[in-house]
Copies of this chain bind each other. A is one copy, B any other.
């Protein structure tokens, strides 16, 4: 079975490649812009009333066939599911972001680590009581 995702927007960022991007978006204060395609804009209604969101995007330049990686700062390989390495069978990028500005179909956020041009997939409000421990 294949499952098809629909890109619903595109992310603009200063990160042109993996080498130029932070290990986690949270470690940088760069701003990124999520541009939502017009046909999905209706789904943004009210979005400015919450501050923190979880952004899901597609890591289109990720290596999908890797199941083991050497994590940052380590020397031995680990299973990808025990790491935050941006590789693996379904490279869904995930970042908690702060929503700084909403301008029509453009969301300006910080803490996002998506490479420039990454397809945008989904955004959900962060609820501390269910999304954190």
Contact of A4 among B2, B84, B111, B130 (CB under 8 A): B2
* Interchain CA distance A132-B126 in the complex, whole Å: 8
Interface of A: prevailing SS: mixed
Q: How far is the CA of A81 from the CA of B49 in the complex (A)?
A: 11
Q: Is the CB of A67 within 8 A of B43?
A: yes
Chain A 24-55, CB within 8 Å of chain B: the 1/0 string? 11110000000000001011111101101010
Query: Copies of this chain, how many?
Result: 2
Closest to A25 in B: B130
Structural contact, A43 and B68, CB atoms closer than 8 A = yes
Contacts of A56 in B (CB 8 A): 90, 92, 94
Q: Does A128 contact B (CB under 8 A)?
A: yes
Question: Could you tell me if B133 and A45 are in contact, using CB atoms closer than 8 angstroms?
Answer: no
Q: Which of A51-93 contact B (CB under 8 A)?
A: 52, 54, 56, 58, 60, 67-68, 77-84, 88-90, 92
User: With A83-B125, A128-B133 as given contacts, are A45 and B68 in contact (CB-CB < 8 Å)?
Assistant: yes
